[in-house]
Amino acid sequence: MSRPVSRIGRAFPDRVEVRGRDLTGDLMGRLTFTEHFHLLLTGQEPSDDERYFLDLLLVSIAEHGLMPSNVAARMTLAAEPDSLQGAVAVGILGAGSVVLGASEACARLLERGGDPVEVTRSMHDHGERIPGFGHPLHSPVDPRAERILALADERGVSGSNVAFARALRDAVHDVWGRPLVMNVAMPIAAVWLDLGYPASTVKAVPILARTASLLAHLAEERDEPVGFDLARAAEEAVGYE
């Protein structure tokens, strides 16, 4: 049996190596956190476009108000004020196929390809949700999605996946018989794939981004608590029989 191998990092008594580079002698003071994350994730420092769009995608998905992940985290911290890490974990565990985590399902859909109308009609006929479409708030467009697509076009990184995402948008409109907003998850996935990254890593973007937002919400929760108010509002909103 071969020995297990990790290529990410290793600590020594006098230094730390990250992806074969000296942490203090090479990386600290030179790389931004975004660049360091890219190095950790891929083993390579990003190109200008990779850095630009990783920053863009992280910013696009980091914050969206009192969504379920932030509400759950705040309520957890209210119940256990000493467990910041537990409250963050609760928020991240909510990164599912409906809220925050849909970009991976979008990437898988884009990877499968096919005729956009046939793909869309098949999902519609089987009663399936089509990832990356629909939003309870944003209408007639998700401004985050439109901005990502515009910048991808402007900087020349839009490729076959962005084109397929747009074709799906048209097909969804025709098959559903009504407009369904393309939400931010689809452009995140499309641009990620067009930059050459695998679908298996796209969910890292919303998870990392939302971690930053959760930490902000939890810092605010400690100064201006609303966690128990949120719990009380939930109690009052539900009827009991």
Give the pLDDT band (50/70/90) at residue 94. Answer: confident
Domains along the sequence of the chain with CATH:
10-46 (no CATH), 48-101+203-223 (no CATH), 106-199 (1.10.230.10)
Phi, psi of 170 (to 5 degrees): -65, -40
Per-residue confidence (pLDDT) for residue 136, from 0 to 100: 82
Residue 75 pLDDT greater than 90, yes or no: yes
Instruction: Beginning with the edge strand found earlier in the chain, give each strand of the sheet holding 21-22 in spatial order.
Output: 9-12, 15-18, 21-22
Residue 143 pLDDT greater than 80, yes or no: yes
Per-residue confidence (pLDDT) for residue 205, from 0 to 100: 97
Rounded to whole angstroms, what are the CA distances from 19 to 3, 38, 80, 128, 150?
Answer: 19, 11, 37, 41, 34
Please provide the average confidence, as pLDDT, over all residues in the chain: 95
Angle subtended at Cα 138 by Cα 170 and Cα 191, rounded to the nearest 5 degrees: 55
d(CA 74, CA 227) in angstroms, rounded, equals 5
Per-residue confidence (pLDDT) for residue 19, from 0 to 100: 98
End-to-end CA distance of the chain: give it in Å, rounded.
Answer: 60
Per-residue confidence (pLDDT) for residue 145, from 0 to 100: 97
Give the pLDDT band (50/70/90) at residue 99. Answer: confident
d(CA 95, CA 71) in angstroms, rounded, equals 13
Per-residue confidence (pLDDT) for residue 211, from 0 to 100: 96
Per-residue confidence (pLDDT) for residue 168, from 0 to 100: 97
Q: Where is average pLDDT lowest: 141-145, 224-228, 237-241?
A: 237-241
The two structure tokens encoding residue 56 = 């863009």
Residue 112 pLDDT greater than 80, yes or no: yes
Residue 101 pLDDT greater than 80, yes or no: no
pLDDT, tens only, 12-63: 999 999 999 999 999 999 999 999 999 999 999 999 999 999 999 999 999 9
pLDDT, tens only, 169-193: 999 999 998 889 999 999 999 999 9
Per-residue confidence (pLDDT) for residue 216, from 0 to 100: 97
Closest by Cα among 8, 32, 36, 41 to 192: 41
